[in-house]
Structure 1
Amino acid sequence: MLFRFLPLGLLICLACAQPSPSTLVEVEQIIQGRLNEVEGDFAVAFQSLDNPEEQLLMNAREEFHAASTMKTPVMLEVYKQAEAGELSLDDSVLVKNEFFSIVDSSAYSLSPDDDSYSKLYEQIGTKQSLRDLVYHMIISSSNLATNIVIEAVGAENATQTLRGLGANDIQVRRGVEDGKAYRQGLNNTTTAHDLMIMFKAIAEHRVVSAEASQAMIDILLDQRFNEMIPAQLPDDVRVAHKTGWITGLHHDSGIVYLPNGRSYVLVLLSKNLTDEDAGVQALADISKTIYDYVAK
């Protein structure tokens, strides 16, 4: 009855002024309660980059179809090979639309209608720098660029680089839209735990030089799809991340930088979503919960 007489604006402020969770136990309880409201399967991995012991893992070893999250390991492999002198980011690479299935080497092609970056198809037959292809593979999630880049560095090499970091479950097997491989269950797969390990290594400059690591982070900071991890965070928080989605599945994974210098890795995975919008909203809410805990 008391609130009946309060101005609407004050009511809204009172409703929003919930205390930030002060422990990871509270964070996990809030997250679990939020996920219980959505039909689907989820995994969460949080790792503070300021305190090695500050970590939260929920279903973090469960396997998920990687969708476009596999494009970050491919970028990492490009920069690793570039630093080893095996290729150059300035190499000119032919833009083509013919690829070969890992099942039987039969040819297949991609459709611009199913790609989030159709502009590259206008460049077929020309050459682009490997650097530009990697950039659009990440920020625009270009499938065509991804397949071209994977041919240049080798999917198996990306997997082995991650094995060297202790990411023992993630599998980068193939390019995008290899229908024969998909029908045989030969998919790119990941876990929240392994993506967390990879992003932590990138943030800490443990795979390539500090300069190359920062170049990758700068690309991730330009990400154009921001419906999950960054969606509810303040404008002065920077998120270097890569999303992924297919029917019934939405992921986001990356590094979050607070203006006070603190930072953390966050991985949010989902599958079997019956309401994809509700799933995306839940993941955005979880990101805000983690941020509130770190920023408290």
Structure 2
Amino acid sequence: MKHLKTACTIALASLLMFTFSCNEKISKKQNLESAVKAQIDSIEGTVAVAFYSLSEPKDSLLINVDEKFHAASTMKVPVMIELFKQASEGKINLNDSIVLKNEFKSIMDGSLYSMDINDDSDDIIYKQIGTKVTLKDLMHSMVTISSNLATNVLIELVDAKNTTATMRDLGAKHIEVLRGVEDQKAFDLGLSNSTTARDLMMIMEAIANKTAGNQKDCDAMLAILKDQQHNDMIPVYLPKEVIVAHKTGSITGVHHDAGIIYLPDGRAYVLVLLSKNLKDFDKGTDQLAKISKTIYDYVSSNNDRPLKITP
């Protein structure tokens, strides 16, 4: 009888500890959601947040994730994936060179337009017009410094429709890659590349889990994303030892960042921050960066036997 009482006492204590642990995690999650929503409310504009843990136990926070946004330069990640896909299929060779041109056809009527160096984040590449540049170098510039000229050359090569189809294969149901950058005629008629936070989350998860291509290609994609030169959102308030593989995007009133965050202890998570109709671009950007810090603080406070993810 004494042994039975002892066993019952231990079982009850274990149950109480388990209940306390679960309640504590629920409380942390509720606090996270409340904190992030308060930060969103301080931004004059429309915001979406998608957080998904790549480690165990699985965790997520999804706010406004099915809202449609202009993709801005986040569409360059799908183009990168399509380049690696076509290379793996033998359709292209990323080590091959192509003559760099600055003349593109509008998807509206086929009329020609050119990129303006003053509207691009990459001015060095314009000195290479008329010369041969490797596809892999163009791809690196497209992602790391968000070169619009490189993007248009590459998207013409792989085709926007193929890129969108590949995103569907990855489970991204709503992202649309319709055209290259600065196609003003298409833009005026509302024909723009678009995305949702959920789709970008799925795409980044696929790269992290090595399902966006073979392992070698996904490792190469991660290396490019980790070399990102525009770092004014997700990484801003994070510790220096945290590794962020990400892609930003911005146009007037729009600022995005989508990435994979690797903690020093081996855990990792995907974070997508999208915004539109920003009344104050700089203030909105800073508040989005602080949302990134809020989520990092939440993740780093939940350190329960992490599953190591290789960055």
Common fold: TM-score over 0.5: yes
Answer yes or no: is 1:214 the counterpart of 2:199: no
Once the two structures are superposed, residues 34-59 of structure 1 have per-residue CA deviations (whole angstroms, 9 ceiling, x without a partner) of: 11112100000011001374111100
Q: Which residue is equivalent to 2:44?
A: 39
Alignment of 1:152-163 (within 5 A): 152-163=157-168
TM superposition shift of 1:94: 1.2
1:178 and 2:183 are equivalent in the alignment: yes
CA shift digits 1:83-108 (9 cap, x unpaired):
11111110111110000000111000
Amino acid at match of 2:194: T
Tell whether 2:274 aligns with 1:269: yes
Q: Give the gaps of 5 or more residues in structure 2.
A: 1-24, 302-311
**Would the aligned equivalents of 1:97 and 1:144 in 2 still touch at CA under 8 Å?**
yes
Report the RMSD for the aligned CA atoms in angstroms.
1.3
1:104 and 1:295 mapped to 2: Cα distance? 52
Deviations 1:218-255 (A, max 9, x none): 00001011010000000000000000000111000010
1:244 & 1:21 partners in 2: Cα distance?
Answer: 33
Aligned positions of 1:1-296 closer than 5 A:
23-51=28-56, 53-296=58-301
- Give me the whole-angstrom Cα distance separating, in 2, the residues matched to 1:123 and 1:22: 56
Aligned residues: 277
2: CA distance, partners of 1:90 / 1:210: 19
Change (3 A) 1:250 1:21: farther
> What are the Cα deviations for residues 106-138 of structure 1, in whole angstroms up to 9, with x where unaligned?
000000000000110100000100000000000
How far 1:207 moved relative to its partner? 2.3
The answer for the alignment partner of 2:3 in structure 1 is none
Between the aligned partners of 1:157 and 1:61, the Cα distance in structure 2 is 23
Which residue number in structure 2 is paired with residue 7 of structure 1? none
Runs of 4+ in 1 over 3 A off after TM superposition: none
Distance in 2 (CA, whole Å) between partners of 1:223 and 1:22 is 35
The CA distance in 1 between the partners of 2:207 and 2:266, in whole Å, is 17
Give the letter for the 2:82 counterpart.
Answer: E
Residue 8 of structure 1 corresponds to none
Structure 1 CA distance, aligned partners of 2:89 and 2:31? 45
Q: Deviations over 1:245-286 (max 9, x none)?
A: 001110000100111100000000000011011110111000
The answer as to whether partners of 1:21 and 1:27 remain within 8 angstroms in 2 is no
CA contact (8 A) 1:232 1:284 kept: yes
Give the C-alpha shift of residue 21 in structure 1: 10
Q: If the length of structure 2 is used for normalisation, what is the TM-score?
A: 0.87
Tell me the SS of whatever aligns to 2:115.
Answer: coil
| TM-score using structure 1 length | 0.92
Q: Indicate the structure (1 or 2) with the bigger Cα radius of gyration.
A: 2
Residues in 1 aligned to 2:73 and 2:174: alpha-carbon distance in whole angstroms: 17
Amino acid at match of 1:190: T
Alpha-carbon distance in structure 1 between the residues aligned to 2:212 and 2:198:
17
State how far apart, in whole Å, the 1-side matches of 2:188 and 2:290 are.
34
- The alpha-carbon deviation at position 23 of structure 1 amounts to 2.5
TM-superposed CA distance for 1:165, in Å, is: 1.4
1:25 Cα offset (Å): 2.0
Structure 2 counterpart of 1:13: none
Q: Which runs of 5+ in 1 are unaligned?
A: 1-19
